[in-house]
Chain A
Amino acid sequence: EPEVTQTPSHQVTQMGQEVILRCVPISNHLYFYWYRQILGQKVEFLVSFYNNEISEKSEIFDDQFSVERPDGSNFTLKIRSTKLEDSAMYFCASSDPDREIGTGELFFGEGSRLTVL
């Protein structure tokens, strides 16, 4: 069964450093997403990506964040100048929306746990 894969599973970084989280979405999906979950809290939408550009982003997704699809398979989230409050689990997801079903089911990766010291 196709799945979304994420690397690394856990990253520890010093405050102020840059971090890149990587994801391989399901190959025939068209929409890609990043969500964030601070420990024990709700899953928050960061950004959606379609046709090689950002489709929508939340207030959390400020200039510190960027996304990229550098090749035909990878989808990355870059966090510049990390802060303590960026410590969270970051989930990548993909979906194949259509007009009838809408967004449809999101397929999530297992997450990348980011710890900023």
Chain B
Amino acid sequence: SQQGEEDPQALSIQEGENATMNCSYKTSINNLQWYRQNSGRGLVHLILIRSNEREKHSGRLRVTLDTSKKSSSLLITASRAADTASYFCATDASPSSYKLIFGSGTRLLVRP
């Protein structure tokens, strides 16, 4: 399959701490995206990083991409209780195929 695994599967931190989630994949990609899913809800796009980029920031989010290791990480700084959700990475193999393949996700719990 195109997608690998994310780790950790679950992460519990205290409000104010940083949360780091990792994603690995198997094939060449055009870009990699991160999505958030609140329990029982739809997925919401957070950030996209292209294959020629190494790092990208958006507010409290920092994403890195290492294409040589086929891995990415999502860092959420100064976490809040409202950040509690599942986080998924998704790879885009376009233009060979216009779809996203999602990883298994990390369940983040931020304790107040």
Which residues in A have some Cβ–Cβ distance to B below 8 Å? 4, 31, 33, 35, 41-45, 48, 50, 55-56, 89, 91, 93, 95, 97, 99, 101-111, 113
Contacts and interface: CB of A to CB of B under 8 A. Distances in A.
A43 B92 contact: no
Interface string B30-54: 1101010100111111001000000
Contact of B43 (A44, A104, A108): A108
B53 to A, nearest CB: 12
Nearest to A107: B45
B31 A106 contact: no
Interface stretch (B14-22, B60-68, B69-77, B93-101): B93-101
A95 B98 contact: yes
Contacts of B35: 106
A33 to B, nearest CB: 7
Contacts of A33: 99
B25 interface: no
A42 B105 contact: yes
Nearest to A106: B100
11 contacts: A42-B105, A43-B43, A56-B99, A89-B40, A102-B31, A105-B33, A105-B45, A108-B42, A108-B44, A110-B42, A111-B42
